[in-house]
């Protein structure tokens, strides 16, 4: 029997959470989750479940007072107008869940509206709703997010700096220095892999020991949607991974663990731990930037694009299914290249 992978376990946990949340929602919500199962991932459906829980909690508090979320029926939804959906979006600016005040960004509001649109469309197409009022509500305007990444131009080399910091521990607190002695080789390998391949945090956490082949400088990751993809790494990444693999092999407590990257408890490292270690080193190197694992991915994508000038190579390497996603994230780099190209054109030599 095949041992469950990290992604198998993540799927199982997502399905378990969806069932639990569905129990808090109206009875027909489960029909929605079943209906979209063949075209969505468990993680997508779980995010839908979170969004719908907030939406029906809002309806219970503001629109159908006296009814719990589970007691709201399709007949109640038929009474809603687009104004009610817009009121919900306004409510998201500051709302309370389990006694805790939450706020929602414009992107968060857009995602929740997309969920509600899918929900209403599903039941409208089935004839259970007389109108799809959610479709009449415009998406919130999304302002362009500042592109944040580590720089390696001219005298500034934040990429080398963060790797050197992870290697030496310079700048860490006395308490952090104590842990650094145990995690130095692992942390350098993680940062080097992010910066040298541009993989996602879930892809890194999900790597198992059998997924890496040092003979071909290749490794396998599980992309969004569950596709398995072979990627390649360069000499610097190889050296960092080999150092960690050697250290790991000499750890007798790690022999039974399938995961490649381990926590101090010799279990698969968590996404939270990876996020915190990136934050720890980045704060020393670039305190004004909010560097996350995804920003390291952006850093790699930027460097790859500057090297190749080929947006399709970048899209394929990063695993973007739509090249327009890549173009959107690296449009400013395109502008840099165009500007440099145009300004390099000479009309007259100085000697003329």
Span 176-210, pLDDT tens digits: 999 999 999 999 999 999 999 999 999 999 999 99
pLDDT over 70 at 332, yes or no: no
The helix or strand, by DSSP H or E, that contains position 232, with its residue range, turns out to be strand 228-232
189 close to 240: Cβ distance less than 8 angstroms = yes
Domain 158-341 belongs to what topology?
A: hpI Integrase; Chain A (1.10.443)
Burial class (CB in 10 A: 0-12, 13-18, 19+), 207: buried
**H or E element in which residue 256 lies:** none
User: What's the distance, CA 218 to chain centroid?
Assistant: 23
**pLDDT tens, 79-124?**
999 999 999 999 999 998 878 899 999 999 999 999 999 999 999 9
Can you give the pLDDT at residue 143?
A: 81
What pLDDT sits at residue 270? 97
Element (H, E) at 189: helix 174-197
Radius of gyration, alpha carbons of the chain: 24
Provide the strand spans (E) within 65-160: 95-97, 100-102
Per-residue pLDDT tens digits for 231-251: 999 999 999 999 999 999 999
Lowest mean pLDDT among 31-35, 140-144, 178-182, 200-204: 140-144
The percent of residues in the chain predicted with pLDDT above 90, rounded, is 76
Q: Give the CA angle between residues 134, 86, 70 to the nearest 5°.
A: 65
Positive or negative, the CA dihedral 57, 108, 291, 240 is positive
Q: Which part of the chain has CATH 1.10.443.10?
A: 158-341
What pLDDT was estimated at residue 200? Answer: 95
């Amino acid at each position: 029997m095949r041992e469950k992978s990290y992604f198998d376990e993540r799927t199982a946990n997502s399905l378990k959470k969806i069932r639990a949340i569905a129990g808090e929602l109206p009875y027909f919500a489960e029909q929605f989750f079943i209906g979209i199962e063949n075209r969505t991932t468990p993680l997508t459906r779980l995010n839908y479940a979170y969004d719908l829980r907030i939406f029906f909690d809002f309806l219970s508090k503001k629109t159908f007072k006296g009814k719990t979320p589970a007691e709201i029926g399709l007949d109640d939804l038929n009474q809603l107008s687009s104004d009610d959906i817009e009121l919900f979006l306004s409510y998201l600016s500051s709302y309370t869940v389990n006694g805790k005040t939450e706020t929602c960004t414009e992107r968060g509001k857009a995602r929740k509206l997309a969920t509600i649109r899918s929900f209403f469309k599903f039941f409208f197409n089935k004839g259970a709703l007389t109108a799809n009022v959610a479709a009449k509500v415009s998406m919130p305007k999304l302002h362009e997010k500042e592109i944040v990444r580590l720089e390696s131009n001219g005298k500034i080399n934040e990429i080398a700096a963060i790797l050197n910091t992870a290697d030496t521990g310079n700048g860490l607190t006395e308490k952090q220095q104590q842990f650094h002695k145990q995690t130095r080789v692992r942390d350098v390998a993680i940062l080097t892999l992010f910066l040298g391949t541009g993989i996602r945090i879930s892809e890194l956490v999900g790597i198992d020991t059998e997924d890496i082949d040092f003979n071909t400088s290749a490794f396998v990751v599980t992309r969004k949607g569950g596709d398995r993809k072979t990627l390649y790494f360069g000499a610097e990444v190889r050296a960092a991974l080999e150092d960690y693999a050697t250290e790991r092999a000499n750890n007798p407590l790690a022999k039974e663990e399938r995961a490649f990257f381990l926590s101090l408890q010799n279990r698969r490292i968590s996404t939270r731990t990876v996020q915190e270690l990136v934050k720890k080193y980045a704060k020393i190197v670039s305190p004004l930037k909010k560097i996350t694992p995804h920003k390291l991915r952006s850093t790699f994508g930027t460097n790859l694009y500057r090297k190749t000038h080929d947006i399709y190579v970048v899209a394929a390497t990063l695993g973007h299914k739509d090249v327009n996603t890549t173009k959107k994230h690296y449009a400013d780099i395109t502008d840099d290249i165009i500007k440099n190209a145009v300004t390099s054109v000479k009309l007259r030599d100085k000697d003329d």
